[in-house]
C-alpha cells in the first residue's frame, strides 16, 4: 500500500475486533516502526510491552467497559515512559513527544499491514488503570503506561471522520488575519 494511501486510510477504530490472533512477527514489525520514530536528542525514552498472552489480554479486556476495540482485542501494545522524565535539552524532557511519534508510526504500520487500532490515552490516566496494567506486565515503579494500542482485524468497516479542508488548517508563510 502506498504511504499516502495508508495515511488517508488510518483511523481510530473503536468497534469490535476479530478474535483472530495477530502474528508475533507482525506485532514486532509494528513495534519496530515505533522504535524507528525520532526522539528528542535521540534519547529513545519510550519502552514497549507487547501483550499477546491470553490471560493478560483477558485481564486488560475486562478493564474497559465501553470501547469495543479494547474489550475484544487479541493483542495490545503498551507504551511506557518514565514517571519523572529526565531533561535532555536545556532543562526540557521530550518523552511525551517521543511517545507520540512512536505511536503514530505504529498506527500507520498497523494500517499498512491491514490491522486497525485506536490510540487510548486518557482512559489510562484515570482510576489507577495505568498503574494496574503496569503491575500486570511487571513495569518498574519508575515507569508508567502512557498509551495502549489494541491491535487486531476489524469486524466492520470503520469510518474515518471527515477532515477539514487543507485551506482551513494549513497556510503558507503566515497565519491568516481573523475575519472581521
For residue 180, being part of any structural domain is answered with no
For residue 105, being part of any structural domain is answered with yes
For residue 134, being part of any structural domain is answered with yes
Q: How many angstroms separate the CA atoms of 101 and 162, rounded?
A: 23
Domain span at 66:
3-169
For residue 129, being part of any structural domain is answered with yes
* pLDDT of 138: 98
For residue 124, being part of any structural domain is answered with yes
CATH code where residue 108 lies? 3.40.109.10
For residue 175, being part of any structural domain is answered with no
* pLDDT of 178: 86
Q: How many angstroms separate the CA atoms of 25 and 173, rounded?
A: 44
**DSSP label at residue 113:** T
Q: How many angstroms separate the CA atoms of 83 and 103, rounded?
A: 18
**Cα dist from 65 to 59, 61, 62, 135, 150, whole Å:** 12, 9, 7, 20, 14
**Cα dist from 162 to 6, 48, 109, 159, 166, whole Å:** 16, 31, 22, 9, 12
For residue 174, being part of any structural domain is answered with no
Residue 62's closest CA among 48, 76, 50, 49? 76
Angle between helices 95-112 and 24-35 (to 10 degrees): 140
What is the reported pTM? 0.94
With beta carbons less than 8 A apart as the criterion, state whether 144 and 133 touch.
no
* pLDDT of 26: 98
Q: Residue 75, SS3?
A: strand
* pLDDT of 179: 79
Q: How many angstroms separate the CA atoms of 127 and 111, rounded?
A: 30
Give the position of cell 490515552: 121
For residue 104, being part of any structural domain is answered with yes
* pLDDT of 1: 72
Q: Mean pLDDT of residues grouped by 10 in the chain (180 residues)? A: 90 95 98 97 95 97 93 98 92 94 98 96 95 98 97 90 94 90
| The three three-digit cell numbers of residue 126, written as one number | 484515570
With beta carbons less than 8 A apart as the criterion, state whether 134 and 145 touch.
yes
Give the position of cell 487543507: 166
Q: Residue 2, SS3?
A: coil
Total domains, the chain: 1
* pLDDT of 146: 97
Amino acid at each position: 500500500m502506498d504511504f499516502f494511501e495508508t495515511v488517508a486510510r488510518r483511523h481510530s477504530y473503536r468497534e469490535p475486533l476479530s478474535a483472530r490472533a495477530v502474528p508475533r512477527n507482525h506485532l514486532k514489525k509494528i513495534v519496530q516502526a515505533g522504535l524507528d520514530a525520532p526522539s528528542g536528542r535521540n534519547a529513545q525514552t519510550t519502552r514497549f510491552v507487547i501483550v499477546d498472552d491470553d490471560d493478560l489480554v483477558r485481564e486488560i479486556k475486562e478493564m474497559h467497559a465501553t470501547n469495543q476495540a479494547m474489550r475484544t482485542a487479541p493483542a495490545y501494545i503498551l507504551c511506557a515512559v518514565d514517571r519523572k522524565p529526565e531533561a535532555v535539552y536545556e532543562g526540557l524532557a521530550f518523552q511525551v513527544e517521543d511517545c507520540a511519534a512512536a505511536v503514530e508510526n505504529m498506527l500507520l504500520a498497523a494500517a499498512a499491514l491491514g490491522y486497525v487500532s485506536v490510540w487510548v490515552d486518557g482512559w489510562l490516566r484515570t482510576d489507577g488503570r495505568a498503574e494496574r496494567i503496569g503491575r500486570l506486565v511487571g513495569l518498574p515503579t519508575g515507569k508508567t503506561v502512557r498509551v495502549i494500542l489494541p491491535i487486531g482485524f476489524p469486524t466492520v468497516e470503520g469510518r474515518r471522520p471527515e477532515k477539514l479542508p487543507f485551506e482551513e488548517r494549513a497556510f503558507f508563510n503566515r497565519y491568516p488575519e481573523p475575519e472581521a
